[in-house]
């Protein structure tokens, strides 16, 4: 299995709602990532997990809460979002974190979850 | 803040070779340069990765000069299906994270 699966594909939520985005991979990768992508912009890193521990938090507002229940799963919990948080949210995984050869920083991305905040 | 820059857009015709350059003059010493292709409403897809000189696979070549301050993705004989946005991904010196380039929108016409 060489895929990263994200659910849901589309999500519409109000500013008072609580929802979650889910990501799953079965490639044995030990690093998982959340990226946010606005239209016509490159993906921006939000969080990195390495061996199920939060490794990088790019000063993301607390209304976004990541969770890594196990090495195959990554969640992004959403609460009290703003309309400007509407974007494509991408999950990715890699064998490890960068700095070494053998594809350590080759990221495999999911298809993304398109989030609209009303 | 150091940036990783690419041309905003490029136009080409089917069958031509396309070269897309990424400038990363503050790249981390020991990290690889990776290129991705992205279609609308999809996640980026891995194309090629290299550390220095030249790397070639079945879909592209990657040229990296000795100073590693830039890299050039070469797509031989593009087709209409190569119309997409292309990103480089590098780790910049002093940063822990991998940073995407600004992206190049390639349009291939018949």
Query: Is residue A98 over pLDDT 60?
Result: no
Q: Are A20 and A77 in contact (CB under 8 A)?
A: yes
Which pLDDT value is given to residue B95?
Answer: 72
B34 to A48: CB separation less than 8 angstroms, yes or no: no
CB B35 within 8 A of CB B75: no
Closest partner residue to A98 among B31, B41, B102, by Cβ? B31
Q: Nearest-CA neighbor of B20 among B92, B91, B107?
A: B107
* A93 closest CA partner among B60, B100, B32, B43: B43
Q: Do B102 and A42 touch (CB under 8 A)?
A: yes
The number of C-beta contacts closer than 8 angstroms across A and B is 65
**Higher-scoring residue by pLDDT: A116, B95:** A116
What integer pLDDT is reported at residue A104 of this predicted model? 55
Q: Mean pLDDT throughout A51-62?
A: 90
pLDDT digits (tens, 9 = 90+) for B12-30: 999 999 999 999 988 888 7
Is the bond leading into B74 cis (omega within 30 degrees of zero)?
no
Nearest CA-CA distance, residue A45 and chain B, Å: 8
């Amino acid at each position: 299995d060489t895929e990263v699966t994200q659910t849901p594909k589309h999500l519409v939520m109000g500013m008072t709602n609580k929802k979650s985005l889910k990501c799953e991979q079965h490639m044995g990768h030990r690093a998982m990532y959340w990226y946010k992508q606005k239209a016509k912009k490159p993906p921006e890193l939000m969080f990195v997990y390495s061996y199920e521990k939060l490794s990088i938090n790019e000063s993301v507002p607390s209304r976004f809460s990541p969770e890594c229940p196990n090495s195959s799963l990554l969640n992004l919990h959403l609460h009290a979002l703003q309309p400007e948080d509407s974007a494509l949210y991408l999950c990715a995984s890699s064998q490890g974190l960068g700095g070494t050869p053998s594809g350590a920083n080759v990221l495999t991305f999911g298809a993304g979850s398109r989030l609209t905040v009303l | 803040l150091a940036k990783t820059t690419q041309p905003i857009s490029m136009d080409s015709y089917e069958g031509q070779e396309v070269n897309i350059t990424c400038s990363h003059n503050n790249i981390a010493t020991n990290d690889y340069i990776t290129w991705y292709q992205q279609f609308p409403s999809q996640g980026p897809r891995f194309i090629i990765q290299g550390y220095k000189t030249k790397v070639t696979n079945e879909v592209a070549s990657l040229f990296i000069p000795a100073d590693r301050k830039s890299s050039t993705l070469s797509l031989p004989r593009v087709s209409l299906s190569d119309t997409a946005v292309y990103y480089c991904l590098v780790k910049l010196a002093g940063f822990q994270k991998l940073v995407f380039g600004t992206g190049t929108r390639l349009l291939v016409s018949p």
